Structure 1
Amino acid sequence: MEAAVSSVVRRVEELGDLAQAHIQQLSEAAGEDDHFLIRASAALEKLKLLCGEEKECSNPSNLLELYTQAILDMTYFEENKLVDEDFPEDSSSQKVKELIGFLSEPEILVKENNMHPNHCSLLGDELLECLSWRRGALLYMYCHSLTKRREWLLRKSNLLKKYLVDGINYLLQMLNYRCPIQLNEGVSFQDLDTAKLLSAGIFSDIHLLAMMYSGEMCYWGLKHCGDQQLDNHELDTGISGASCTTQKEPLDFREVGEKILKKYVSVCEGPLKEQEWNTTNAKQILNFLQHRCN
């Protein structure tokens, strides 16, 4: 176990140095200070100091958390730039691949070093959810941009399909990290609507967005790519990161989309009715999926 801890500390320090150099390049290219890059750099400086202490005394969980937070901030800066530029066709594929790689590194690091049979215990559910959400949301935004490029779709619809499958898998993974709260006599809630949300596995607004994004991506898959399903061995786009290609069964866009959007509508028109979440688009997609089935 001590050897594994020492190995993780060394690797985190190496990755932190690489990320710090990358941040320096981004800052110089931007020509101005950015809040997210400053915060990421500060986290990596703290990481460097901790890694310089006795390796046996270092807590790998704390180091991983610092590194992960820095990566989340650094990639957020780059994602915003991609969105502002509407994902330039000549460079976006490589940049998205690079960002997915950064956001996958914390999970990969834990798995490669066998630090814990359940890496949720080392990174924590919230950080794992955030990493999966960010990868899924990035691919959602990228695919949204691609669906508006008619000529590109005619030439590369199969590539879009692979991006969609990866993105949906990340979002579903994010939704499944935490188990729904089981309602029973031993658990008391002052707010019944909150209890219903937790029992449905909805812990935040981001969970709802992940459901809607997944449904939209299933819609794009059927609309632009047809009914052909991707087998597991077909999923390697060079863009997938950790935990994305582990599913054994092909992803059925219609089945997944219909299931998750029905739940989305049910939650929005049930416990969240007073918050006026919009279900119009979800219902239109459900109508499309159901007619597609028939």
Structure 2
Amino acid sequence: MRTGLLGTGPWAETAHAPALGAHPEVEFAGVWGRRPEAAGALAERYGTRAYEDVDALLADVDAVAIALPPSVQAPLAVRAARAGCHLLLDKPLAADVAEGREVVRAAAEAGVASVVFLTTRFQPEPAAWITEQTAAGGWFTARAEWLGAVFTGDSPFAASPWRREKGALWDVGPHALSVLLPVLGDVERVAAAARGPHDTVHLVLRHTGGATSTLTLSLTAPPAAAGAAVELRGEAGTTVLPLPSEGPVPALARAADALLASARTGRPHPCDAAFGLRVTEILAAAEARLADA
């Protein structure tokens, strides 16, 4: 599958480009970015072509991997879908629900496959755990903590304008929801929301299966306190999300595998654009609840 990369930032450099460049069933066909000099440097590093015109890249490839802020990703994903390109998307899908719906609509109308790269869902140990707990059922409640030190530690994403604007809710919230939704069911409502220090938020969710969950999300945790944890309690007792043994590059390669499979079979992946839209809807509902808090 000839695949182009849209984006040249830290995530494109450290995850997308290495994964695309090493994938045996992907031809890394080109790079486009909002900074032409960065696109040229990244393309040269991987022996591919830098495009100045995004539409020229879309015309030359079968699929695109997007590593751009959500407000930039969504309209480009619509453009790519209408050009017949399959979509390997980043989270969150879009900066608001209307933009997310446009992506889903464009992908459906064009008949292209889509996968949203929610890292935990493509790491072997967490993915197997999610499958096992979904099958077990009978969960009473869950606790999820996704605490990053992006703005308090030495992170390459500290200069990200969209993360500073949208905060932990929109950056790490999708990761927490990607674990909870398949196990506990869709979110019926955001029952409560409160702000903590800096960008930290606390949410209480009611799920369609009858369980409730609490989420604590932050990008401004002290580095010594950073980390992610999910705990389930129910009829089977207590269980916790296992730590992954691999980083984002192998996980992104599996997301590319998933996109290839969906494109070949026509069967949607559980983490497709429609799932990304549902996550966006929940984030928007939580944001509205926080505004009223």
TM-score, normalization by structure 1:
0.27
Q: Which has the higher helix share?
A: 1
- Rg larger in structure: 1
Q: Which has the higher strand share?
A: 2
TM-score, normalization by structure 2:
0.27
